[in-house]
Homo-oligomer: A and B are copies of this chain.
Amino acid sequence: MRRVAAPVIDPRRGSSVMVRGQGHVMTRQLTQRGRERRAQLLDIAARQFAEGGYHPTSVAEIVEAAGVGKGVFYWYFESKEALFTEILRDANISLRRRQQAALGNEPDPIRRLELGILATMHWYHEHRYVFNLFQFAQSETEFAAILVESQETSLNDAMRHVKEAMAEGRIRDGDPLFLTQAVIGTTGHLARRFIFDRDDDPDEVAQMASAFILHGLMAQPASVS
Q: Which A residues lie at the B interface, using CB under 8 A? A: 21-22, 26, 51-56, 58, 60-61, 64, 110-111, 113, 132-133, 135-136, 138-141, 162, 165, 169-172, 174-175, 178-179, 181-186, 188-190, 192-194, 208-209, 211-222, 224-225
- Give the residue among A52, A111, A182 with the most B Cβ atoms within 10 A: A182
Q: Which residue of B lies closest to A168 (CB)?
A: B219
Q: Which residue of B lies closest to A208 (CB)?
A: B178
Cross-chain contact A190 with B219 (CB below 8 angstroms): no
Which residues on the B side are within 8 Å of A188 (C-beta)? 185, 189
A135-B138, A190-B182, A194-B181 as given contacts; A216 in contact with B221, CB under 8 Å: yes
Cross-chain contact B217 with A172 (CB below 8 angstroms): yes
Q: A15 CB to closest chain B CB, in angstroms?
A: 18
Per the bound structure, the CA–CA distance linking A52 and B21 in Å amounts to: 14
Q: A65 CB to closest chain B CB, in angstroms?
A: 9
Top 8 A-B pairs, shortest CB-CB distance? A185-B189, A216-B216, A136-B139, A55-B55, A220-B222, A215-B221, A135-B139, A215-B216
Q: Which residue of B lies closest to A178 (CB)?
A: B208
Per the bound structure, the CA–CA distance linking A189 and B141 in Å amounts to: 17
Per the bound structure, the CA–CA distance linking A106 and B131 in Å amounts to: 37
**Which of B21, B170, B222 is close to A64, meaning CB atoms less than 8 Å apart?**
B21
Per the bound structure, the CA–CA distance linking A220 and B172 in Å amounts to: 7
